[in-house]
Amino acid sequence: DENTVIRKADNSKVYMADLESALHYSLRVEVGRFHVLEGERLKALSNFVNVVRKYLPARPYLRTLLNSLYVWLRARTRTKVLFDDFEDVLNNKNMDQKAVLSSEENYVGCQGSKPEFRGFPCSLWTLFHMLTVQASEMATQRTVKPAPREVLSAMRGYVKYFFGCRECAEHFERMAQESLRTVRTLDEAIKWLWERHNRVNKRLAGAASEDPDFPKVQWPTPELCPLCQVKTESELVTWDDPNVMHFMKTHFSKDNIADAYLV
């Protein structure tokens, strides 16, 4: 389509525009498919907003919004919430303080070569990798001790109750049922998600949903992290675990977030 704006992306960076797009799309579009939110689904929403407000190094006005959204939800998890009322909080209708979540999809690192490729699912993975890494970082810097599975459980709940790709949700739930309980530390949570994501990449390589300009690969590639993949005789990729962990913590660090194209 000739109207598509091409945003120049560096694949060694994480773009805040992608992270904000993930939040806009999840909270306004995916959650908006449910006019009434209650029970386990409402709880899943509240847990999702909670990990985002705690661990996403967002812009100050967005942090303010996420905090009010969480406080508003938490007071209502035993009742019913109308999406319309939730949306008023999202849009900061009361304007008590300056708070804003951008209201468009603006993918940079997740922009596909065509509109049907990449975009939201790419940004959702990016968001959750960022949250697992930031939860672990916070434990080293402050007195807060996030529970090892807090972020992954919130992701599991979000995917189960809201993720529009139902087939994806079933696959993900199966992986979670199989092994999520084996995650005992914050670093194991980082590793678990990285490893499962690579399994998904392997399964989807060559599928119709693959953007030809962004083939599914085992990640990080040797180009991004020369010391992560260990050379072997066989075709199989083997990993240097400490280098992968170091790479994950560097790639999904605050310092590696680029502000380009933010509106």
Q: Is the peptide bond before 220 cis (omega within 30 degrees of 0)?
A: yes
What letter would DSSP give residue 99? -
- CA 121 from centre of chain: 9
Q: Which is nearer to ligand FAD, 100 or 169 (CB)?
A: 169
Site string for ligand FAD, 97-116 (x = CB under 6 A): -------------x------
Q: Which is nearer to ligand FAD, 204 or 262 (CB)?
A: 204
Q: Which two tokens stand for residue 50?
A: 């909670």
CB of 100 to ligand FAD, least distance (A): 25
Strands 257-258 and 14-15, by their bridges, are: parallel
Closest CA to 111 of 123, 103, 119, 100: 119
Q: Which is nearer to ligand FAD, 61 or 219 (CB)?
A: 219
What letter would DSSP give residue 24? H
Regarding 122 and contact with ligand FAD (CB under 6 A), the answer is: yes
Cβ-based neighbours of 105, under 8 Å, separated by 6 or more? 21, 24, 25, 119, 120
Q: Which is nearer to ligand FAD, 60 or 215 (CB)?
A: 215
CB of 35 to ligand FAD, least distance (A): 24
Regarding 51 and contact with ligand FAD (CB under 6 A), the answer is: no
Regarding 133 and contact with ligand FAD (CB under 6 A), the answer is: no
Tokens 């959750």 belong to: 128
Regarding 118 and contact with ligand FAD (CB under 6 A), the answer is: yes
CB of 194 to ligand FAD, least distance (A): 4
Regarding 53 and contact with ligand FAD (CB under 6 A), the answer is: no
Q: Which is nearer to ligand FAD, 125 or 261 (CB)?
A: 125
Radius of gyration of the chain (CA): 18
Helix axes 39-55, 150-161, angle to 10 degrees: 130
Within 171-230, the residues that bind ligand FAD by CB under 6 A are: 171-172, 194, 197-198, 200-201, 204, 207, 209, 211, 214, 219
Question: Applying CB under 6 A, which of residues 167, 223, 235, 255 lies at the interface with ligand FAD?
Answer: 167
Regarding 249 and contact with ligand FAD (CB under 6 A), the answer is: no
Q: Which phi and psi angles does 121 have, rounded to 5°?
A: -60, -40
Q: Which two tokens stand for residue 139?
A: 């434990």
* Other C-beta atoms lying within 10 Å of the C-beta of residue 145: 10
Q: In this chain, which residue has its C-beta nearest to ligand FAD? A: 168
Regarding 125 and contact with ligand FAD (CB under 6 A), the answer is: yes
Count of residues that bind ligand FAD according to CB under 6 A: 25
> How far apart are the C-alpha atoms of 243 and 198, rounded to whole Å?
16
Closest CA to 91 of 83, 79, 99: 99
Where along the sequence are the contacts to ligand FAD (CB under 6 A)? 110, 118, 121-122, 124-126, 129, 159, 165, 167-168, 171-172, 194, 197-198, 200-201, 204, 207, 209, 211, 214, 219
